[in-house]
Amino acid sequence: MRRRVRIAVDALEHLVGGLGTSILAMAGLFWLLAVVVSSLVGVGLPLIGGSLRAVRSIADRERGRLSRWGPAIVGPPPVPDRPSAALRDPAVRRELAWVPVHATFGFAVGIFGLSLPLSALQDLTYPLWYHLAPPGEGAPGIPFWNVDSLAEAFGVALAGLGWLAVLLLAGGALARSQAWPGRRLLGPVPGADLSLRVAELTATRAAALDAHAAELRRIERSLHDGTQNRLVAVTVLLGAARRAYTRDPATGAELLDRAQQAAEEALGELRTVVRGILPPVLDDRGLAGALDGLVAGCALPCDLAVELPVRCAVSVEATAYFVVAEALTNAVRHSGATAATVSVRVDGDRLLIGVGDDGRGGADESAGSGLAGIRRRVEAHDGRFTLTSPPGGPTTMDVELPCGS
């Protein structure tokens, strides 16, 4: 029973949605008729292209609605610019056939579907208010039935139960029948060329792969130019120490000292690289949770505002995390700030990150702080990085990343 109710509620939702597009289709139909009539006398001809595009946008709305609900409906290529070509386009012709069907049949089914629960409500509550109804008007929906006793009013309520039963039993079928012309006529023309859709998917996929490759390049670079150089320095210093050992033990000892230092630096850098690849906490708790943890562990009191209705690509989230982590580390180490703010939100397809502190400012990208690393990493994602840090502060950093999702 509960399943039935859920199906009926879903069906009602679809019916109302379909009613919405059918009203649009109706408007489109009137517009089309006006254009056709005015074209007969010549003045409407320049409007044909625009009206076909209007029909396309209405049809796209229906495609979107049907795709959210059932199997996705792939849209056709754009309407050809020349009206004569457009009118020959099979997809356009099928849309023109769909408009009157959906404007009439779809509208009627939608109204009927919507009236079912309303009628049920009205009839079921009829015994409560039948005595208020103006005499001689008859029961709701049944004008010839003059109700003048409670028993008869309960009879009307029984009819309400009937409406409810119809909704429960036939709601799904109604919604399907309303969607049927759209599914039949708005899908790709049988045997149509799907190359456009394929091209679109290829492009987005390539962009994702590009971001991935940029990430791998960044890792390769930090391993080769950072960690490996440290290790080479270790071997060079060890080699020098070995040569110096017999000649000049004091120098040898100093070289060994420096070699050890370089080895420790190599380890530190390796740790940074590994942490930068994909902080494990991102996987466990998502970006918002990971930032929470970051802020909680920060030595400065930090105000965090995160607004993330959607998840971004993993590499983008990792970069966002890295940016905030580096920026906070900088603030703690160099700024002398007493408080920091972090905000992360999504605007369209961009992830916006802002980190600020009330410290002494004067942050310099070329001074070997993590700032250059932040810029490199952001730019690898085609993002934007802006730093304002006048002497005396405050410092604010704004980063914009494409979400990539």
Residue selected from 238, 277, 281, 387 as contacting other proteins according to rule CB under 8 A: 238
Determine the longest span between alpha carbons in the chain, in angstroms: 124
- Closest distance between other proteins and the C-beta of residue 217, in Å? 10
Which phi and psi (to 5°) does residue 75 adopt?
-75, 155
Question: Rounded to whole angstroms, how far apart are CA atoms 152 and 130?
Answer: 10
Alpha-carbon distances, residue 245 vs 232, 254, 257, 259, 262 (angstroms): 20, 10, 13, 14, 19
Question: Rounded to whole angstroms, how far apart are CA atoms 322 and 355?
Answer: 12
- Closest distance between other proteins and the C-beta of residue 247, in Å? 9
Query: Which range in 78-86, 138-146, 166-174, 234-242 contacts other proteins by CB under 8 A?
Result: 234-242
Half-sphere exposure of 279 (CA within 13 A, CB side): 22
Query: Which range in 79-87, 149-157, 255-263, 288-296 contacts other proteins by CB under 8 A?
Result: 255-263
Is residue 237 near other proteins by the rule CB under 8 A? yes
Is residue 387 near other proteins by the rule CB under 8 A? no
Which phi and psi (to 5°) does residue 306 adopt?
-120, 130
Token pair recorded at residue 274: 């590994």
What is the layout of strands, in order, in the sheet containing 384-388? 302-307, 340-347, 350-357, 395-402, 384-388
Is residue 369 near other proteins by the rule CB under 8 A? no
Residue selected from 38, 251, 272, 329 as contacting other proteins according to rule CB under 8 A: 251
> What residue type is 227 in one-letter code?
T
Cβ-based nearer residue to other proteins, 56 or 230 = 230
Alpha-carbon distances, residue 270 vs 218, 224, 229, 276, 399 (angstroms): 13, 11, 11, 10, 25
Query: Which range in 81-89, 150-158, 243-251, 286-294 contacts other proteins by CB under 8 A?
Result: 243-251
Is residue 221 near other proteins by the rule CB under 8 A? yes
Is residue 192 near other proteins by the rule CB under 8 A? no
Cβ-based nearer residue to other proteins, 82 or 376 = 376
Residue selected from 46, 50, 70, 239 as contacting other proteins according to rule CB under 8 A: 239
Is residue 67 near other proteins by the rule CB under 8 A? no
By CB atoms closer than 10 A (0-12, 13-18, 19+), residue 29 is buried
Q: Which residue has the tokens 């009926």?
A: 8
Is residue 218 near other proteins by the rule CB under 8 A? no
Is residue 376 near other proteins by the rule CB under 8 A? no
Is residue 231 near other proteins by the rule CB under 8 A? yes
Cβ-based nearer residue to other proteins, 202 or 235 = 235
Is residue 273 near other proteins by the rule CB under 8 A? no
> Footprint of other proteins on this chain (CB under 8 A)?
221, 224-225, 228-240, 242-244, 251, 255, 258, 262, 265
